């Protein structure tokens, strides 16, 4: 976790070990919540990370409300909305174990092109260091993080644990929003309370579902319409095989 005053879910994905013993490089790829909330006093700390590329998974309306501030130091910006119409949170039982996992499958379906584009960006050497983010850094960001880690060969249990780390960040974000923001909170309003949770079993169910549908990481890549070299290129850029 990398602390900022008003960004609550900024994390380095480095250090995770894959099934073959390789380790993700530190300070290469990050996941985050709303970078538009970075304050001037946060920008120096952000700049020390040397981030070249920002991948913004938020809706067009969210982007109109603010982007990563000038002075953050990045040279590439990609707006790749996972959805521009919010999922229907009224479908299904919000207390059921698979409720959020089903919403994530819907997001992957509707956001197929954006997820594919994000992976294409992450397969280029000139992209790094990079950060991808949404508003809360849990759902849309969680989907991209899970798929990226799965392509790299990180075990499901580790991916689920990484996802669950967003739970504490959501609490901090919700508290800040209640006190300081006039924006519509991503963890409030008409959403069921379960939408703010980050249970590891949610991510385990999501990973199981995409494995059932696509069979393998390579199958998912084909399903997304990407070149079959994308997983190998991402692995070459992010993994230290000698670790």
Q: Would 179 be classed as within a structural domain?
A: yes
Q: Identify the pLDDT of residue 95.
A: 84
Parallel, antiparallel, or unpaired for β 130-133 and 53-56?
A: parallel
Q: Would 2 be classed as within a structural domain?
A: no
Q: Is the pLDDT of residue 188 over 50?
A: no
Least confident of 11-15, 53-57, 92-96, 235-239: 92-96
CATH number at residue 182: 3.90.190.10
Q: What is the mean pLDDT of the chain?
A: 91
Between residues 187 and 239, which one has the greater pLDDT? 239
Could you report the per-residue pLDDT of 17-50, keeping only the tens digit for each?
Answer: 999 999 999 999 999 999 999 998 899 899 999 9
Q: Identify the pLDDT of residue 74.
A: 81
Band (pLDDT 50/70/90 cuts) for residue 117 is: very high
Q: Which residues sit opposite 55 in a β-bridge?
A: 78, 132
E-strand stretches of 89-196: 130-133
Q: Would 243 be classed as within a structural domain?
A: no
Parallel, antiparallel, or unpaired for β 11-12 and 29-32?
A: antiparallel
> Helix axis angle, 140-152 relative to 112-122, nearest 10°?
50
Q: Would 26 be classed as within a structural domain?
A: yes
Report which DSSP code applies to 56: E
Between residues 97 and 153, which one has the greater pLDDT? 153
| Residue-range definition of the domain harbouring residue 146 | 11-84+92-236
Contact of 164 with 198, CB cutoff 8 Å: yes
Band (pLDDT 50/70/90 cuts) for residue 187 is: very low
**CA 92 – CA 222 distance, rounded (Å):** 30
Q: Would 34 be classed as within a structural domain?
A: yes
**CA 221 – CA 20 distance, rounded (Å):** 20
Q: Would 48 be classed as within a structural domain?
A: yes
**Long-range contacts: 213-217, Cβ < 8 Å, 24+?**
217/150, 217/151
Number of domains in the chain: 1
Q: Would 3 be classed as within a structural domain?
A: no
Report the side by side order of strands in the sheet with 11-12: 11-12, 29-32, 130-133, 53-56, 76-79
Provide the 3-class DSSP secondary structure of residue 79. strand
Q: Identify the pLDDT of residue 146.
A: 98
Q: Would 171 be classed as within a structural domain?
A: yes
Residue 8's φ and ψ, nearest 5 degrees, are: -110, -5
What's the token pair of residue 215? Answer: 């069979």
Q: Identify the pLDDT of residue 243.
A: 57
Q: State the pTM of this model.
A: 0.93
The mean per-residue pLDDT over the stretch 188-206 comes to 83
């Amino acid at each position: 976790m990398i602390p900022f005053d008003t960004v609550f879910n900024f994390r380095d994905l480095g250090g995770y070990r894959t099934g073959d013993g390789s380790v993700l490089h530190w300070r290469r790829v990050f996941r985050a919540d709303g970078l538009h909330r970075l304050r001037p006093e946060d920008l120096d700390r952000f700049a020390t990370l040397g981030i070249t590329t920002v991948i913004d998974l938020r809706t067009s309306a969210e982007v109109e409300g603010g982007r990563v501030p000038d002075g953050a130091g990045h040279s590439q910006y990609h707006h790749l909305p996972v959805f521009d119409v919010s999922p229907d949170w009224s479908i299904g039982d919000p207390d059921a174990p698979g409720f959020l996992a089903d919403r994530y499958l819907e997001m992957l379906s509707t956001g197929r092109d954006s997820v594919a584009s994000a992976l294409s960006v992450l397969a280029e050497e000139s992209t790094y260091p990079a950060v991808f983010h949404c508003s809360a850094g849990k759902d849309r960001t969680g989907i991209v993080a899970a798929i990226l880690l799965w392509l790299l060969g990180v075990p499901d249990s580790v991916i689920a644990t990484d996802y669950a780390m967003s739970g504490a960040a959501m609490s901090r974000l919700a508290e800040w929003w209640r006190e300081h923001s006039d924006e519509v909170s991503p963890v409030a309003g008409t959403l069921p309370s379960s939408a703010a949770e980050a249970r590891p079993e949610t991510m385990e169910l999501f990973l199981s579902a995409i494995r059932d549908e696509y069979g393998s990481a390579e199958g998912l890549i084909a399903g997304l319409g990407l070149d079959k070299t994308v997983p190998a290129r991402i692995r070459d850029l992010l993994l230290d095989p000698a670790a």
